[in-house]
Amino acid sequence: MSQLKPRTNLAPIKIPGDAKIVPESESDLSQEVVDGIPTPSHSKKQPEVGGNTFDVDTQVIVPPVTSTQRWIRRRLGLGHEYGRLKHPDEWVTKKAEYDHGADPLNLGPTSGEAHPKSRDHLDLRMRDVEWGFWNEFFQPQGDQARLSFSLVEDVWHLLTVDLSMTKVLLLELSMEAVLILFTTLILMLLGYVTGSGDESHETVGNLFTTKLLLSLSTVRLSTDSVWGWREGPVSPPLEVLALSLHSWLHWLLLNIASAIVVARAMRPLRQVFFSPDCVVDHQHLNIRLQLLRFKTVGLKNLHISLSATTADGVFHNLPLSNGMNQIPEWRGCGPMNIKHDVSPTSPFHPTNLAKEKITMVRVALSCMDSNGMPVNETMSWYDSDEGVFMKAPSKRLFLEKGVKYPQILYKAKWRDAYAMYKPWPPSKLPALSVDLNNFCRAVVSEPPEPEPKAEPVKGDDDNV
């Protein structure tokens, strides 16, 4: 069964069939120095042999960005380093007083206890693993050949979408080599048939070398400037016909390869990604959206659709807060918070959750980037305790790929990513700081305790 694989050169983490993943404790956290900056990291845990159980809260190992990758990104002008705070005014740190209000979509200061299922590091490999998860979850049966308009269209989709660029280039080189070798053998056969080979050459090896150079010259891979000009026998008509056909097939192959490269180059690049988890508290369901190349790319005419699926397979529309399912524009490095109000009519309201559990949340984004190219992105999040999606076999698939599955976090909200300078306005830009590391980090959000009702005080008139 075909499957989309994570776009990474790192080998996936293999989990034995009888392995038991043990959660990491605080003692497993260590400090490593990356580019001179202390960074928390997780030590690699060895799976314990057990009864095929997997802890969903296990912190998987996120591959680090190597110093070589950072050097290349720095030379190309791409994002490559941790943010370093340089500002003449007073910087408002996480421990100091916050001043919010510039961004109405922001949840506000969220200092507090980290959610037990929160992620510490962002790993975009999960997006491709989650997309390929559905190919593993369903088993097709029946005649799949009937699901086709034409064979040519399916082959073209295979070359321009399914196959990687490396496989496409290797396929073109292989077909070119086969064409040259096949033409060489045809020329040798024609040489024996017409008699030109027996008169001009004594051995088969010499004849093969001569015809191979002639075949290479036809595709401009062997010229007189390389091998030197020498007089040879005049080609008979059949050999001229074979060389003409070989030249035409080579031209056709090059044009098809060029069309495939152009078609792949015209495919829109992924410009955004959603948070690896979605958080739900007593007020909102919240999903974050982040631009990848925020320095040069912005979004226009954003259309967002959000839905939830209950345990019985029914879809429920989730309107966004204030009905803002269409947003004119979004720019900058700050994450967008996409929120749904947990009202009495929401399926996430406690009274409705008690009747029907939520198994999955889906979101879709359709817009255009600042260059006029289409941007389309989707994401799904799952509840590990409800439904059939994230049972042991499904969790095993994500763990074998070395990523943690996208999950719905209840009683949680995002850790704040914005901070402002004081005094406001600042004397010099920047005016806002965005902590990109907090994009995927959640904290515990408990509903406020109800205030106790005051007992009525009996007056003198009440005493009878």
Task: Report pLDDT digits (tens) over 236-286.
Answer: 788 888 888 888 898 999 899 999 999 988 888 899 999 999 999 999 999
Residue 50, token pair as written in the block: 């057990």
Q: Which two tokens stand for residue 336?
A: 């967008």
Convert the pLDDT of each residue in 334-346 to its tens digit. Answer: 899 999 999 999 9
DSSP 284-295: EEEEEEEESSTT
CA angle 303, 121, 361 (to 5 degrees): 35
With 60 as the cut, is the pLDDT of residue 6 above it? no
In the chain, list all ranges with CATH 2.60.40.1400: 90-123+276-444
Contact between residue 38 and residue 31 where contact means Cβ atoms under 8 Å apart: yes
Topology at the third CATH level for domain 90-123+276-444: Immunoglobulin-like (2.60.40)
* pLDDT band at residue 458 using 50, 70 and 90 as cut-offs: low
Rounded CA separation 367/371 (Å): 11
108 token code pair: 């506000």
Kindly state the DSSP code that residue 206 receives in the 8-state scheme: H
Question: At residue 33, does pLDDT exceed 90?
Answer: no
CA–CA distance, 24 with 402 (Å, rounded to integer): 15
H, E, C per residue of 149-199: CCHHHHHHHHHHHHCCHHHHHHHHHHHHHHHHHHHHHHHHHHHHHHCHHHH
CA distance 338 to 209: 68
Report the pLDDT value the prediction gives residue 75, as an integer from 0 to 100: 76
Which tokens is 164 given? Answer: 């990687």
Give 46: exposed, middle or buried? Use CB within 10 Å, 0-12, 13-18, 19+: exposed
The model carries a pTM of 0.69
pLDDT in tens, 315-325: 999 999 888 88
d(CA 390, CA 383): 7
Structure letter (DSSP) for residue 44: P
Please spell the DSSP secondary structure of 6-43, one letter per residue.
PS-SSPPPP--TTEEPPPP-GGGEEEEEETTEEEEEEP
Cα 123 to Cα 437: distance, rounded to the nearest angstrom:
11
pLDDT digits (tens, 9 = 90+) for 418-455: 877 666 677 777 777 888 888 999 999 888 777 666 66
Q: Which of left, alpha, beta for 120 (phi over 0: left; psi -120 to 50: alpha)?
A: alpha
